Amino acid sequence: MNIDFTSRVIQSPETLINVIEGESVLLNLNNESYYGLDEVGTRMWELLTTSESIQAAYDQLLDEYEVEAETLRRDMQNLISKLFDQGLLEISVEQSS
């Protein structure tokens, strides 16, 4: 999946999320599949679903964590792709003004 970092990620309407002690469980109500996130994955989810773009979330995560830029980019692409495939998030190509 080719992910444009200028795009925005939004939580699918069919997704429920429960955060317990910094970790998350996401549930797709349509197919009852679920996905667990550790603390770092939960922080990625929070930033991805509240930032104006994937790039803005990426920049914030680079500031917060000691990680190589390319490693973070790859990890974010993998997470977005997995969550998209499970119907837990959607990618919006609309640009914020």
Contact 54, 8 (CB under 8 A): yes
The pLDDT mean for the chain works out to 93
User: Helices 39-50 and 69-85: crossing angle, nearest 10°?
Assistant: 80
Q: Considering the domain boundaries, does residue 71 fall inside one?
A: yes
91: pLDDT confidence band, cut at 50, 70 and 90? very high
pLDDT of residue 94 exceeding 80, the answer is: no
Q: Is residue 92 included in any domain, yes or no? A: no
**Quick check: pTM over 0.95?**
no
Domain with 81 in it: 8-87
Q: What is the mean pLDDT of residues 67-91?
A: 96
Gap between the Cα atoms of 89 and 48, Å rounded: 10
Interval 48-73: pLDDT, tens: 999 999 999 999 999 999 999 999 99
Count how many domains the chain has: 1
Domain contains 96: no
